[in-house]
A = this chain, B = another copy of it.
Amino acid sequence: MTEKTSHATVDDVARLAGVSTATVSRCLNAPDRVVAATREKVMAAVRTLNYTPNFGAKALASKRTGIIGAVVPTLENAVFAHGVDAFERSLEPGKFALLVASSGYDATREKHQIEALVARGADGLLLVGFDRDPAIYDWLAVRKVPYVLAWSSGEQHVFAGFDNQAGIAAMVRMVLDLGHRNIAMISGKTLGNDRARGRLEGACATLAEAGLAFRGVAEVAYGFEGGAAAFAGLMQDRAITAVICGNDVLAAGALRAAHRMGLRVPEDVTITGFDDIDIAEITSPELTTVRVPHTRMGEEAARLLQDLIAGKSGESVLLPTELVARGTHAPPAGSA
C-alpha cells in the first residue's frame, strides 16, 4: 500500500509475474512468441500494476517512436483539415500517432517545423506539395526519414495527390465551350505554392490552346476577403463574363462580392471554384467547381507512408479530379 508513486516498470511486472523482463517485453510486443499460460500471468501482472511502457525508453531501445509528422500550411483551410483528418484516421490504431504542425504558408517556418518533427523522432512525414528548398530533401534523405507529398503530383518524389493543371484545364475548357471569351482568373499566391501555380499555369495553357489569354489575373492571399476584393477589381473591366478561381474560398468570396455589386450569377457572370469543399454546396447558387478527393488522398497518403516506414517500396498514387457542374456557370449574356 505504501508503494512508491512512480510508475511500474518491466522489472516490477517481471517480478510479480515470476518471469524475466525479456518475457514481459515479448508478451507486449510479440504475444505469439510466448506460451499462453505465461502470457496470462504476465498480462495479469500488467493489469494489477497498471503498467504502461515508458515511451522514451521504448523509443531509445527500439529506434522508432510510432509518431508520424505532418506539416500543412494551416488547418484553417478546410482542404487540409479534411485531408489531415482522413490521414490520421487511416493510421494503424495503436501503432502510429500524428504530430501536426502548420507553416502558415511560410517556407522558413515549414523548414523549422520539419526539423522540429524529425527532432521529435517522427518515423515519417506528410508534406504538402513539392516546392521547397532542395536542402530539405537532402537532409531528410541523410536522416533516412521517409515522406509522402500530397495535394500535388510529380516525378521526383513519392506522392499521393492529383494533377492541379489537368483539373483546372477541364474547368477552363468547359467555360470556353460555354462560349466565354473574356475570362479572368483569381489565383492564390503562387510563390512557393506549386498547387496554386499549377492551377494558374494550367488555366493559362488551356486558354492559350484556344488562342486566348486572360483579360485579367489577380493573385491574392487565401480567404473570402481576397476573393471578394479581387473580383471587384477585376470586374472594372465590364467585358469580363467569367471568372475562374483557384479555390472554392476565393470563389465564395467572389460570389459574395458579385451579390453585393448587384451582379446576377450565373446570368451576368460565371464564377468557378476548385476543391469542392463544404461551402461549395451552401452558397447560392451552389458552386460549380472541381472535385478533389481529399479524403481518399489522406487515406492513400497514410497507406503509402506506412508502407515506406515498414520498408516496403511505395508507389505514388495519382487521384482523379472531377468537374462538378452546379449553379454558378452559364453561357455569356450576349450569346443566343
Contacts and interface: CB of A to CB of B under 8 A. Distances in A.
Interface in A62-83: 62-63, 65-67, 74-76, 78, 81-82
Contact of A75 (B50, B65, B84, B279): B84
B99 A101 contact: no
B76 A65 contact: no
Given A88-B100, A112-B93, A259-B284, A67 B120 contact: yes
B82 A76 contact: yes
Interface in A42-92: 50, 52-63, 65-67, 74-76, 78, 81-82, 84-85, 88-89
A2 B100 CA distance: 36
Contact of A283 (B58, B81, B143, B282): B282
A284 B284 contact: yes
Nearest to A74: B85
Given A60-B60, A284-B284, A118 B52 contact: yes
Contacts of A117: 97
B99 A97 contact: yes
A138 B66 CA distance: 26
Given A52-B143, A66-B120, A99-B99, 18 more contacts: A53-B119, A55-B120, A56-B58, A56-B121, A74-B85, A84-B100, A89-B102, A93-B112, A94-B112, A97-B101, A97-B116, A100-B100, A224-B278, A256-B281, A256-B282, A278-B279, A279-B282, A282-B282
Interface of A: 7, 50, 52-63, 65-67, 74-76, 78, 81-82, 84-85, 88-89, 93-94, 97-102, 104, 112, 116-121, 142-143, 224, 249, 252-253, 255-256, 259, 278-279, 281-284
